[in-house]
Amino acid sequence: NAGVTQTPKFQVLKTGQSMTLQCAQDMNHEYMSWYRQDPGMGLRLIHYSVGAGITDQGEVPNGYNVSRSTTEDFPLRLLSAAPSQTSVYFCASSYRAGGQTDTQYFGPGTRLTVL
């Protein structure tokens, strides 16, 4: 198993550009999520999904869109990049049982810089 994969590893954008961060998992996990990690801020939840076709907002959803057309993939789209979106982005996935998530498996992260 490859686990959770994220592409790209690094990205530099100019203000106003759009892009999609890719996330895929091969563990048949129902639950997938996106976090951003800023220095001194811990991890903040952007969006999450409890299954294909179902997404919901996290703590900091503004400026980001997601979709979940398959169990495996959960892309994160930046609509119009802003310097405030400079961060490290992590994707994670986990099993769910009885409405509760189990251990989350994290990808290696994407380091995004917006100039």
Partner 1 sequence: GNSVTQMEGPVTLSEEAFLTINCTYTATGYPSLFWYVQYPGEGLQLLLKATKADDKGSNKGFEATYRKETTSFHLEKGSVQVSDSAVYFCAPGGNKLTFGGGTRVLVKP
Q: Which residues bind partner 1 (CB under 8 A)?
A: 31, 33, 35, 40-45, 48, 50, 56, 58-59, 90, 92, 99-104, 106-109
Closest distance of CB 72 from partner 1, Å: 18
Closest CA to 111 of 5, 6, 9: 9
Shorter beta-carbon distance to partner 1: residue 1 or 14: 1
Calpha distance 62→40 (Å, rounded):
20
Task: Dihedral sign for Cα 59, 57, 31, 35, please.
Answer: negative
Closest distance of CB 14 from partner 1, Å: 26
Shorter beta-carbon distance to partner 1: residue 8 or 16: 8
